[in-house]
Chains A and B, each alone.
Chain A
């Protein structure tokens, strides 16, 4: 186990290093950030001065060297635009995104698993066909469109939910979150539902496919021959065996939503970090983009590690090596 952890840690550092390299290289091809910062009527001297201040007059390898060495000392660089540490810009906005994603994932799982089990256990039933048609819509309808429809119907037409913003927040363990206030929950429902739909549909389809596969296994019939109820056979014996691919997709989706909830955040004016990424790309704010993408890589690596741990909890035949 200890050896495994060390191995995973080295692997993680390697991934982060490669990501930093790739992102740094790509960024250097995407326009000159200096022109985004200096005024339109800036003189040659002013441009050169700005370039010097930002360190962009150095060669690319030297820039990267400076970036990496300061990173190792805990300095993640400053935003060109905000003149603030890039990391704190991102971390400030992180709770808003994470809370919305967690609620979205919760909604997705609570809906997808029972419906997926049902559709897998009764593949020919009328209700199953309706569920599957619905899930197909969930996969194929674009999030921004669903978000706008929900806003129109539930916020504008019925007036049940607010259409934008995060609402009141409270502080838990030093993190500001809207999950501790009723008003915050009121605000989070619509964006979370919007964000959950695609994931819900994918998880539902994975669960169904897994259950259909598992339904043919002898141990399912053996469990029934013991006198277990249908419900017990499906959930206790079936679902656990169908869960590995579902957990895998869950992990990937979780990372994906945290990193790239941008569209939903934009539609609902949710002050999360996805919005920051888009703005930074517009402004060629390289330090923010690089740190953001490295953070995303870190999130994915950590989630995948947790998913691997969950595998071992589900299946005793899987061991961490």
Chain B
């Protein structure tokens, strides 16, 4: 573990991001830890409201009031971003860590040309002159699969389709050669046919640049194709993590199992798609014990009393469950 820590590009330790609302404190991220090495893709998985996006925004220091990072560390190459301060964070945003948002229809400014929005990143983070910046933008647009790139620089976002816009967003995210890209549900708003194209493009681009990626999604199917390892969040906490293959093949936490079972499997014709019963509990007011127990088929008396800590199952995997599933065990 120590050796891995040394190599980690980004290490998040016990991150706690809370939102102080009139109705109570929402502990959207409550003690989350994970690490990503250079060149790795990590899937951050969970249901809506599970705190996935908040983790992404916390890393970039983009948590707005009433939200606040209450504790923990976010170490980028050993430098703590939680205490870094806004001027330093501005240097890091876009240059070291960039972000791809969920909805390409809304993440581009409708009143600026694609060229202007790309150029902004280079102006902020490089010393290139106007001609060199333009050249870099054209090259980047071409590399994300936009033809006639030089002509398209003067176009406005509304002149592009959804998939094309997401390619532009990806191009913007890659422009300053960041080491880490946080992709927050990058394909959720797109047609299914476009989804796989975009995912393929992202994987290629990340690999070609040796960058790392945090892929935030609710879709385990997407993550299983893309990620090297997976971190599963539930109610602001990590409930399971491990290498993708092992985790998908034999999930240890019942929640992970539920997520996997709710992926439609064309080869295995269930009469009905399985789903996780119940709903995510009110995060302002979590019951004692395990947050998942009300929805868990394996819950026992202990689960209502004691919250299970994240325990190592073997060298690579850990889960926060008192009664983890054993490999090969039916749900």
Contacts and interface: CB of A to CB of B under 8 A. Distances in A.
Given A225-B60, A225-B99, A317-B156, A219 B94 contact: no
A314 interface: yes
Contacts of A74: none
A199 B269 CA distance: 68
Nearest to B124: A227
A227 B111 contact: no
B107 A219 contact: yes
A225 B94 contact: yes
* Most chain A Cβ neighbours within 10 Å, of B57, B65, B110, B172: B110
A317 B94 CA distance: 28
Given A221-B62, A317-B158, A227 B91 contact: yes
Contact of A226 (B98, B110, B158): B98
Interface string B152-176: 0000101000000000010010000
Given A218-B106, A316-B156, A225 B111 contact: no
Dominant SS at the A interface? Answer: helix
A228 interface: yes
Interface string B54-75: 0001001010010000000000
B121 A226 contact: yes
Contact of B120 (A124, A228, A241, A317): A228
Contact of B62 (A124, A224, A236, A241): A224
A43 interface: no
A241 B158 contact: no
A60 B98 CA distance: 74
Contacts of B95: 227
B95 to A, nearest CB: 6
B92 interface: yes
A241 B125 contact: no
User: Which of A223, A229, A241, A317 has most chain B Cβ within 10 Å?
Assistant: A223
Instruction: Name the residue in B111, B121, B124 with the highest tally of chain A Cβ atoms < 10 Å from its Cβ.
Output: B111
A316 B158 CA distance: 9
Contacts of A222: 99, 101, 107-109, 169
A225 B94 CA distance: 6
A217 B62 contact: no
B80 interface: no
A227 B156 contact: no
Nearest to A226: B94
A316 B155 CA distance: 10
Contacts of A219: 106-110
A225 B92 CA distance: 9
Nearest to B89: A227
B17 to A, nearest CB: 15
B103 A218 contact: yes
Contacts of B172: 226
B16 interface: no
B120 A218 contact: no
Given A218-B101, A224-B62, A225-B93, A237 B124 contact: no
30 contacts: A218-B102, A219-B108, A219-B109, A221-B57, A221-B101, A222-B99, A222-B101, A222-B169, A224-B60, A224-B93, A225-B60, A225-B93, A225-B99, A226-B98, A226-B121, A226-B172, A227-B91, A227-B92, A227-B94, A227-B95, A227-B121, A227-B124, A227-B125, A236-B112, A240-B112, A241-B109, A241-B111, A316-B111, A317-B156, A317-B158
Query: Across chains A and B, which 9 residue pairs bring their CB atoms closest together, nearest first?
Result: A227-B94, A227-B93, A218-B106, A226-B94, A225-B99, A219-B109, A218-B107, A222-B107, A316-B156
Interface of B: 57, 60, 62, 65, 90-95, 98-99, 101-103, 106-112, 120-121, 124-125, 156, 158, 169, 172
Given A219-B107, A227-B91, 20 more contacts: A221-B57, A224-B62, A225-B60, A225-B93, A225-B98, A225-B99, A226-B94, A226-B98, A226-B120, A227-B90, A227-B121, A227-B125, A228-B120, A228-B124, A229-B90, A240-B112, A241-B110, A241-B111, A315-B111, A316-B111
Interface of A: 124, 217-219, 221-229, 236-237, 240-241, 314-317
